[in-house]
Amino acid sequence: MMRIVAAGAALALAALSLTACAPGAAAGRSDVGVQLFQMPWTALADECESTLGPAGYGWVLTSPPQESIAGEEWWVSYQPVSYRLESRLGTRDEFADMVKRCDAAGVDIIADAVINHMSGQSEPGTGFAGSAYEHDRYPGLYEPADFHDCGLTGDNDIRDYRDREQVQNCELVNLADLDTAAPHVRDTIVAYLNDLLSLGVAGFRIDAAKHIAATDVEAIVAELPDDAIIMSEVIRGSGEPVLPEEYLAAGSVFEFTYARDLGIQFVAGAFTEPDLSTERPQHVPSDQAIVFVDNHDTERGESQITYRDGDTYAMANVLMLADDYGTPVVYSGYAYTDRDMGAPTTASGTIEPVTCAEGARGPQDFADGERTCVHAWDAVAPMVKFRIAVGDAARMPGVTVADAYGFEREGKGAVAVNQGTDEVALTLSTSMPDGIYCDVLVADCAATFAVKDGAVTFTMAPGQSAAIHVDARG
């Protein structure tokens, strides 16, 4: 079973599983997460109860919960002005209630912790909840001496990612860079994170962790309870000195290479081993890797595949969720044409509490602002129970036929996708017991596949994914 390393743990030995149930438990929780980008707390609580809990998702990554600069763009969330839990996503009480309701539904909350910096504003302003601030002054929290002044690039902005000192001591896109080695700064950050833990969150995504020295992240994490889960955002960059591996002592890291490798398979229009095999050059160890098809940055940037790619996007999610590398997080945001556009707001300026209970169950042409609900798609959500069913069964070598690709999780499940423009019949050998199995990616077991004499043949239309597992017999 995939594991997530907890704060302060001695690497894999003290790994803490996010899953409460043993691998293969039919009605258990999985290690699968979903990033519910810019979903407000009241809607998120409903989502846990209506969709995530029943589907078996184990955790949600939220957007940052702290007060930020005021503004319409989504990215205001990443410019803190105080650590009050009061934002366009909801109030402190709503956040606390959401954590409780999600927990009752079996879903852990991982909060996005923006602790590398404060705002990127050059002029003084007033935050969403009324806190006054200046670029390097946040009354009651930070004074100018609490920030780095790198003095290396003229305007203090990072110019060269190949220079460690710039990356960690200069400003990321003008965001006031906290001196995380200073005791007062560390204590203030630790108090904020402990406050969130006191409300029941399970752990944190450490935003922009690359821009914080790994030793500082470790020192902050060391002050948190041992079971706090840490996922550091350290984008692996070609020729850059700051590596994801440096952050493994603090917990898990997001492994961007996985998404890149997966995306290439679809852009090339054909699957080429060994890229999707278990050989993973430039990947952190599986038990400390968080993997994803895309996220809120990469869907607006480098990702080769996003919700706009419809069936292809579903296929990529299916392969990730069937795979044995890393702890997967499904990305679920909203449609946009303008990169900066925030999620739709109510008259009072908070984000509209739209859930996915009645939302999209598959790819379509989404209108701007509409939630994509990828985690609820018929061709994605059932893969969570596939993952529970296969547990830690070995991933068998992939088989390619024309533009289709598939593999078995030994004796427990099998999966295949067809990215070609013709129907393909792909046969896998399997040690699953003979019998009829539901294609779990078709609702209500309306389609089945037979395992006979150690083999299963998936006949797939163009763009179709198919999956069978031992907990869903036809």
- Least Å distance between CB 318 and ligand ARE? 25
Give the count of residues interacting with ligand ARE (CB under 6 A).
19
For ligand ARE, which stretch binds (CB under 6 A), given 202-210, 220-228, 286-294, 452-460?
202-210
Please pick, from the candidates 86, 233, 255, 408, the single residue that binds ligand ARE as defined by CB under 6 A: 233
Q: CA 12, CA 429: separation in Å to the nearest integer?
A: 33
The active-site residue, picked from 233, 294, 299, 323, is: 233
Q: Does 214 bind ligand ARE (CB under 6 A)?
A: no
Q: Please identify, using beta-carbon distances, which residue of 174 and 448 lies nearer to ligand ARE.
A: 174
Q: Does 336 bind ligand ARE (CB under 6 A)?
A: no
CA angle 119, 125, 131 (to 5 degrees): 85
Q: Which of residues 61-100 bind ligand ARE (CB under 6 A)?
A: 75, 78-79
Query: 212 in helix, strand or coil?
Result: coil
| Residue 69, phi-psi category: left (phi > 0), alpha (psi -120 to 50), beta (remainder) | beta
- Least Å distance between CB 471 and ligand ARE? 36
207 classed as catalytic: yes
Q: Which of residues 129-188 bind ligand ARE (CB under 6 A)?
A: 161, 172-175
| Residue 181, phi-psi category: left (phi > 0), alpha (psi -120 to 50), beta (remainder) | alpha
Q: Please identify, using beta-carbon distances, which residue of 234 and 335 lies nearer to ligand ARE.
A: 234
Output the residue with the shortest Cβ distance to ligand ARE: 120
What residues does 371 pair with on adjacent strands?
A: 334
**Cβ(202)–Cβ(18) below 8 Å:** yes
Q: CA 42, CA 95: separation in Å to the nearest integer?
A: 8
The active-site residue, picked from 207, 218, 255, 287, is: 207
Q: CA 469, CA 408: separation in Å to the nearest integer?
A: 10
For ligand ARE, which stretch binds (CB under 6 A), given 81-89, 234-242, 352-360, 450-458?
234-242
State the alpha helices, DSSP H only, in 105-163: none
Place of tokens 């969130």: 196
**Cβ(98)–Cβ(202) below 8 Å:** no
Neighbouring CB atoms inside 10 A of 198's CB total: 9
**Torsion over CA of 355, 356, 358 and 359, rounded to 10 degrees?**
120
Q: Does 235 bind ligand ARE (CB under 6 A)?
A: yes
- Least Å distance between CB 79 and ligand ARE? 5
**Torsion over CA of 304, 238, 256 and 210, rounded to 10 degrees?**
-130
Q: Please identify, using beta-carbon distances, which residue of 298 and 430 lies nearer to ligand ARE.
A: 298
Q: Which of residues 291-320 bind ligand ARE (CB under 6 A)?
A: 296-297
358 Cβ neighbours under 8 A, 6+ residues apart: none
Q: Please identify, using beta-carbon distances, which residue of 122 and 429 lies nearer to ligand ARE.
A: 122
Contacts with ligand ARE by CB under 6 A lie at 75, 78-79, 114, 120, 161, 172-175, 207-208, 210, 233, 235, 237, 240, 296-297
- The residues assigned a catalytic role are 207, 233
